[in-house]
Amino acid sequence: MRFRWDWLRPVVTAPFVPTIGPVHPSVLTEDVFADTLAAAASDRFLRYDKDIRWSDAKDETVLVEDVIHQPGETLIPTLSRRGSGTVKVHVYGVRPDTLLVASELAEKLCAAQGAAKARVVRFLGPEAPQGRGTRIQLKDFRTQTCAAPTGPVRRYTEWPTPIQRDFASFAERMAADGFRFLYGRMRAGTVGAVLVAASQGKVAGAIGPMEIRPDAIGSRQLMPQYFGVLPEHRGKGLGRLLWRAAMHWGQTHGAAYQLLQTEVGGASDRLCQAEGLTSLGFTYSRPA
Give the residue from 112, 68, 59 showing the smallest Cα distance to 90.
68
Residue 65 phi, psi (nearest 5): -65, -15
Within 10 A of 117 (CB to CB), how many other CB atoms are there?
15
Residues contacting 261, CB < 8 A, separation 6+: 21, 22, 134, 135, 136, 137, 224, 283
* % of the chain exceeding 90 in pLDDT: 90
Residue 130: the pLDDT is 67
Task: Please check whether residues 211 and 89 belong to one and the same domain.
Answer: no
For residue 232, the enclosing domain spans 143-255
**Domain CATH code at residue 203:** 3.40.630.30
Residue 43: the pLDDT is 74
- d(C-alpha 104, C-alpha 106), whole Å: 5
Average pLDDT value for residue range 256-269 = 94
Q: Is residue 249 part of a domain?
A: yes
pLDDT beyond 80 at 170:
yes
- d(C-alpha 36, C-alpha 63), whole Å: 10
Residue 160: the pLDDT is 97
Q: Is residue 58 part of a domain?
A: yes
* Residues 22-53: tens digit of each pLDDT: 999 999 999 999 999 999 988 789 999 999 99
Task: Please check whether residues 50 and 131 belong to one and the same domain.
Answer: yes
**Orientation of helix 238-252 relative to helix 267-274, angle to 10°:** 60
- d(C-alpha 185, C-alpha 211), whole Å: 13
Give the pTM. Answer: 0.92
pLDDT beyond 90 at 207:
yes
Residue 76: the pLDDT is 98
Q: Measuring CA to CA, how many Å separate 150 from each of 86, 159, 204? A: 44, 15, 16
Task: Please check whether residues 73 and 185 belong to one and the same domain.
Answer: no
pLDDT beyond 90 at 256:
yes
Give the β-pairing of 257-263 and 220-222: parallel
Average pLDDT value for the chain: 95
Residue 149: the pLDDT is 84
Count of structural domains, the chain: 2
Residues contacting 227, CB < 8 A, separation 6+: 177, 206, 207, 239, 242, 243, 246, 268
